[in-house]
Structure 1
Amino acid sequence: MKQISFIHAADLHLDSPMVGLKHLPADILSRVRKSTFTALEKLTAAAIDRNVDFVILAGDLYDGEDRSLRAQSRFRNEMQKLLQKDIPVYVIHGNHDHLNGSWVHLEMPSNVHFFGSDVEVKELHTKRGEKVHLYGFSYLQRHILDKRIDDYQKIEPADFHIGILHGNEGGGTDHDNYAPFSIKDLYGKQFDYWALGHIHKRTILSENPPIIYPGNLQGRNKKEIGVKGCYHVSLNDLEANTEFIETSDVVWEEVSVDAAAADNFQEILQLCQVTIERLRKASLGTLLTLNLKNVQLVDIHEKKILDSELLELLLDYEKAEESFVWIVDLIVQNNLQLDRKHLINEADFYGELFATIDDYQNLETAIGPLYEHQMARKYLKGLTASEQNELLEKAEKLLIGLLYQ
């Protein structure tokens, strides 16, 4: 039975600058900035460990069109490891590392095969004798907005046909609509596998034949949450098997913690610590956005401590952790249910504020512009006395919440 095995990865973005993280401790910042290289090393190790027939890199190896010498050098070193194991690598360039950029070229090992700006086919004969045709193209410039899928033409004979494409399916994503295509377009080519790139979220568009975005190797910001990696793919005459391989060294996460049941600062601290331990991943670092919801601290002193010292306490435990969970963004959402008497006792200002609210007579004037708006006035009716009071109560709660923050 004919069979092949390969690694499919995309969007390495080597040497990504990881902007906005300068406030991190030096050791953690250094690790974050090296994380794209660490992910590449994990990919290489996986390819060697699984003794694959070849590796596919489906675009955006580098983060920018200038292709830093550091990134090229690290990439070359990893490719040399694969050369020593006689593992070829097939590469297309995407919109970030397009062919028309300006950079100092470092020569790559002979096992690395780059596709040009026109769709072409590269022929591979595996050690067992299978014949594989790989189809793809590299971006000539940053913006490739026309459909290039029509240029992919199946060429026989071959045991397996694999398409490599850096582009957008359907156009309904947060990414720019480069080299657009539809799943129907890919089905029509009757290939055995489609190795996609460009979308950083891991997505399987089809299982038969496999049409896969592996996502990027390493998350680079808080929008790219979760573990990242690549796929180990095995194809034979009857079936396809895919295995996701984790490669990220630093993981971005976002969680919400409901603090409604916490009566004091100590309980909130414990809630956060439990959440951090739950997210801790062996040998991986985590950069966390923590949403602390429904905080209801009444004691003004504890409220001040929460605002000024909670984050510092949580981070203090992480500085020496290899498997750190570092909070890059702490968002506290208060759900205060404080009565007027408590607030008036806390500060004279609140007594004056509530007196102003109780004497407020200008509600109709305040909302008047809504009724004057050409579109809004078609849908608005006059407010009853009960509705006006409800509106004032909501405004009061909003104002108190903002003042307490």
Structure 2
Amino acid sequence: MKFIHTADLHLDSPFLGLKDLPDALWQRIYESPLTAFKRLVSDAIDTQIDFVLITGDVYDRQERAIKAQAAFLTEMERLNQAQIPVYLSYGNHDYLDAATDGLQLPANVHSFGEAVSSFKLTTRDQTKVEIVGFSYPTRVVTTDMAATFPDRDPQADVQIGMLHGSISGKPGPHDTDAPFTVDELMTKHYDYWALGHIHKRQVLHEERPWIIYPGNIQGRHINETGEKGYMLVRQEQSRLIPTFHAVAPVVWNMQTVDCDSITSTNDLQQAIANQLSQLADQVKTHSSNQSLEMLSLKLIHTDQLAAETKQRLTNGSLLSLLQSQEMARLDVVNQLVVDLHMTDEDSESTHFAQLDQYYWNQAADSVFAAENIAKTADQLFAEPTIASALAHSGGNLKQAVIRQVNAAGRDE
């Protein structure tokens, strides 16, 4: 018996902060969640798995893109043709009020309602499996839903719980979303807890039961770094053995560049080029998928850099030059630097991309409201120095900053 556990597909992620990229590259990034999911389904069919679990957030937004819905329907039909059942719970992004919009899914897709319920199946090797779960009826569920899950069914060979939620009391942006404790899940005596909602892959408990967040299948910004994918779980005798499989076509990464012995712009460019080359070689060696790597470079020990070099870093001209060089050979190196910044210049400041995700999410609904962004931006851009820079940019810089702030103010 073997199955796939995935969650947080976010098939229609907007990637708003990257829309200024060239059209072909933007399209590649925009379609990356769909590409990742197609890879997952192909793996499921090729591996001849017994079933797929999707623990919430197929879509990113309540108003789901038609293209994303059509793609999801197509992939479900592929699984249907392969006679692979799918067990689907809806999360806080695609909750039932939004999800039940008339999209007719194939008969192999079994969706959970708002009350905890179960589905039973017998796999090809005659393993009796019971899957328990629920869907969010609204965007916010603060109830401890784990408490309403039944104890293990003694008639089941394998019992699985599907729970889209977060650990109770743990600081984070979603600490009140269907909160649970690890001890609480363990008392149910299930074999596997298929979690969703947190985009960082993590194992909360190993074996009897496995309690696992698979993470999302495609990182959506620089705060969601590293390879993304799904868990393939195999049964060997009486044990379940989960393994991670990467499918994301775009991988976000952060790298540090030590500038301790560098003063000139040319030397800095060479140091960055050398590090990027080494990184590209490592990716080719260790990655089975040909992924586009989106990089944020943090420069340390920059006090001795020439004033001209620091200015080119501050005004973005060095980043623009680096990107133009990379774009010319993107098909060969498959990497693009999307952010380049110093960290030594103001020890009290924190770079935008490094800000703790918790506080961004906590303030998202109020601080990142469109009217607040516009009001604050107008005050900021009225400063003489910034106004002068805007005048030379033709206003494009102002719109790009507003889009980036608005996009990065949202996470899970």
| Coarse TM-score class (shorter-chain normalised) | 0.7 to 0.9
Deviation per CA, 1:217-237: give whole Å up to 9, x if none: 000111111111110001244
Is contact 1:9–1:56 with CA below 8 Å preserved after alignment? yes
1:251 corresponds to which residue?
251
Give a deviation string over 1:17-66, Cα, whole Å, max 9, x none: 01211221211111110011011011111111221110000110111122
Task: Give the fraction of aligned pairs with identical amino acids, expressed as a percent.
Answer: 38
Report the alpha carbon displacement of residue 261 of structure 1 after superposing the two structures with TM: 1.0
Question: Which runs of structure 2 are paired with 1:328-343 in the superposition (5 Å)?
Answer: 328-333=338-343
Q: Note the alpha carbon deviations across 1:218-272, whole angstroms, 9 max, x for none.
A: 0011111111111000124432211100011111111221101113222211111
Instruction: Report the counterpart of residue 125 of structure 2 in structure 1.
Output: 128
Evaluate the alpha carbon distance shift between residue 333 and residue 142 of structure 1 in structure 2; reply closer, same or farther with a 3 A threshold.
Answer: closer
Question: Per the alignment, in what secondary structure is the counterpart of residue 200 of structure 2?
Answer: coil
Is the CA contact 1:203–1:213 (under 8 Å) kept in the aligned structure 2? Answer: yes
Inter-partner Cα distance in structure 1 for 2:240 and 2:100: 39
Structure 2 residue 84 is the aligned partner of structure 1 residue 87? yes
C-alpha deviations, 1:263-318, integer Å up to 9, x for none?
Answer: 32222111111222233344211221111122245655555555564223321232
Distance 1:275 1:103, change over 3 A: farther
1:229 maps to 2:229: yes
Shift of 1:131: 1.3
> Cα distance, 1:119 vs. partner?
0.4
Provide closer, same or farther for how the CA distance between residues 102 and 39 of structure 1 changes in structure 2, counting only shifts above 3 A: closer
Cα 1:190–1:31 change in 2 (3 A) is same
> Aligned partners of 1:210 and 1:240: how far apart in 2?
8
Instruction: In structure 2, give the amino acid aligned to 1:201.
Output: K
Equivalent position SS for 1:225: coil
Report the counterpart of residue 48 of structure 1 in structure 2: 45
- Maintained 8 Å contact 1:136/1:164: yes
**Which secondary structure does the structure 1 equivalent of 2:275 belong to?**
helix
Distance 1:264 1:294 in 2: 14
TM-score by length of 1: 0.78
State how far apart, in whole Å, the 2-side matches of 1:46 and 1:174 are: 33
Are the equivalent residues in 2 in contact too, given 1:69–1:104 (CA < 8 A)?
no
- Equivalence for 1:107: 104
Matches within 5 A, 1:21-100: 21-100=18-97
Look up the match of 1:144. Answer: 141
Aligned residue number for residue 216 of structure 1: 216
2:113 matches 1:116: yes
- Kept after mapping to 1: 8 A contact 2:7/2:216: yes
Letter in 1 for 2:170: G
Which structure 2 residues correspond to residues 225-374 of structure 1 after superposition, within 5 A? 225-280=225-280, 281-282=283-284, 283-297=290-304, 299-301=306-308, 304=311, 309-319=317-327, 320-322=329-331, 323-333=333-343
Q: CA contact under 8 A between 1:166 and 1:179: conserved in structure 2?
A: yes
8 Å CA contact retained: 1:59, 1:197: yes
User: Match of 1:178, as an amino acid?
Assistant: D
Distance 1:188 1:59, change over 3 A: same
Tell me if 1:183 matches 2:182: yes
The DSSP-based 3-state class of the residue aligned with 2:14 is: coil
- Does the aligned pair in 1 maintain the 2:146–2:180 contact within 8 Å? yes
Consecutive unaligned residues of structure 1, counting only runs of 5 or more, are 337-405
Would the alpha carbon gap of residues 148 and 205 (structure 1) be closer, same or farther in structure 2, given more than 3 Å must change?
A: same
Q: Distance in 2 between matches of 1:296 and 1:61?
A: 46
8 Å contact kept, 2:319–2:339: no
Alignment partners' CA distance in 1, 2:190 and 2:104:
32
Q: In structure 2, how many angstroms separate the alpha carbons of the residues matched to 1:298 and 1:220?
A: 33
CA contact 1:67–1:103 (8 Å) conserved in 2: no
Distance 2:59 2:279 in 1: 30
- Secondary structure of the equivalent of 1:100? helix
CA change 1:272–1:164 in 2 (3 A) is same
Higher helix share: 2
Runs of 4+ in 1 over 6 A off after TM superposition: none
Contact 1:73 1:106 in 2 (8 A): no
Q: Deviations over 1:368-397 (max 9, x none)?
A: xxxxxxxxxxxxxxxxxxxxxxxxxxxxxx
* Alpha-carbon distance in 2 for matches of 1:80, 1:180: 33
Provide the rounded CA distance (Å) in 2 between the counterparts of 1:251 and 1:85. Answer: 30
What does residue 203 of structure 2 align with? 204
Q: Which amino acid aligns with 1:315?
A: Q
CA–CA separation in structure 2 for the residues paired with 1:102 and 1:309: 45
8 Å CA contact 2:8, 2:215 repeated in 1: yes
Question: Which stretch shows the higher mean deviation, 87-96 or 234-243?
Answer: 234-243
The aligned residue for residue 156 of structure 2 is 158
8 Å contact from structure 1 (residues 65, 97) kept in 2:
yes
* Cα deviation digits, residues 48-86 of structure 1 (max 9, x gap): 122111000011011112232211110011111111211
Q: Secondary structure at the match of 2:298?
A: strand
Matched-pair contact (CA < 8 Å) for 1:169–1:182: yes
Contact 2:7 2:56 in 1 (8 A): yes
C-alpha separation between the residues in 2 aligned to 1:131 and 1:238? 13
State the structure with more CA Rg: 1
Pairing of 1:6-17 with structure 2 (within 5 A)? 6-17=3-14
Letter in 2 for 1:175: P
SS of 2:177's equivalent in the other structure is: coil
Q: Which deviates more from structure 2 when the two are superposed, residues 300-309 or residues 9-18? A: 300-309
Instruction: State the Cα distance separating 1:203 from its structure 2 match.
Output: 0.5
